[in-house]
Amino acid sequence: DQQVKQNSPSLSVQEGRISILNCDYTNSMFDYFLWYKKYPAEGPTFLISISSIKDKNEDGRFTVFLNKSAKHLSLHIVPSQPGDSAVYFCAASGPYDYKLSFGAGTTVTVRA
Amino acid sequence: NAGVTQTPKFRILKIGQSMTLQCAQDMNHNYMYWYRQDPGMGLKLIYYSVGAGITDKGEVPNGYNVSRSTTEDFPLRLELAAPSQTSVYFCASSYSGTGGYNEQFFGPGTRLTVL
């Protein structure tokens, strides 16, 4: 039973434009959400996170938005750069959870 | 500071063989985790440890065993390899384990094929 879903397996965007990645979750106990980025043959690396007490968190070109009522979050990358081409995983956790629940990932390709 | 290291990077096993995937971290993290990632799927937790001598099962522990004798090392043991264990295995660590509030640092992964 997948509690975190990324329904778009892939996304292609032109360099300089906005990339929007979506993530939905089903567990209402989740209170912390993270995005990880993964290049081929490497492990995931932490990108940005958001607590359920916020609806937006920004870090440079990356912004995460959280809509608790819709159980939906999104990651915006503006402007997209070739180095952003990677797989992006959405993850979520509840209070006192030791584990992260991951989505299946979205592969982003930034075209020159 | 090497972070989280994993060996080997690649391995092919025959059905029924055994092997140990090694994981080490030099960040003095208390919490360590083993995940597997199957094609088109997210990462699923196999086992985790909250400190030396303490381990617990994750979502998909069957067919695996772990031990944690030191803070630095967290090996994953496959006793009787099966084709269903073909996957990429990631080890991760974090300073604390309370939900996602503490960022997990991942190793580069071990790609295992069981034939």
Query: How much is the pLDDT for B97?
Result: 62
Of A43, A96, A102, the CB nearest to B98: A96
Q: Which of A62-66, B4-8, B100-104 has the lowest mean pLDDT?
A: B100-104
Average pLDDT over residues B77-91: 96
- Residue A13's CB is within 10 A of a number of other CB atoms, namely 18
Q: Which residues in chain B have Cβ-Cβ distances shorter than 8 Å to A33?
A: 100
- For the stretch B68-103, what's the b/e string if a residue is b when 16 or more beta carbons lie within 10 angstroms of its beta carbon? beebbebbbebeebeeebbbbbbbbbbeebebbbbb
- pLDDT tens per residue, range B29-67: 999 999 999 988 889 999 999 999 999 999 999 999 999
Mutate to test the interface with B, among A99, A106, A107 (most CBs of B within 10 A): A99
Give the bridge partners for B73, in sequence order.
B24
Whether the pLDDT of residue B101 is over 70: the answer is no
Nearest to B97 among A34, A95, A98 (CB): A98
Q: Say which of A43, A97, A105 has its CB closest to residue B42.
A: A105
CB distance A44–B100 less than 8 Å? Answer: no
Res A20: pLDDT: 98
- Give chain A positions within 8 Å (CB) of B105: 46
Least confident of A40-44, A93-97, B60-64: A93-97
- Reply yes or no on whether the pLDDT at A12 is more than 60: yes
Residue A98 confidence (pLDDT) above 90: no
Task: Write the residue in A93, A97, A103 that is nearest to B42 by C-beta.
Answer: A103
Distance between CA atoms of residues A26 and A30, nearest Å? 9
Task: State yes or no: pLDDT of B98 exceeds 80.
Answer: no
B21: three-class secondary structure by DSSP: strand
Residues of B in contact with A34 (CB under 8 A): 100, 103
Chain B residue numbers touching A26 (CB-CB < 8 A): none
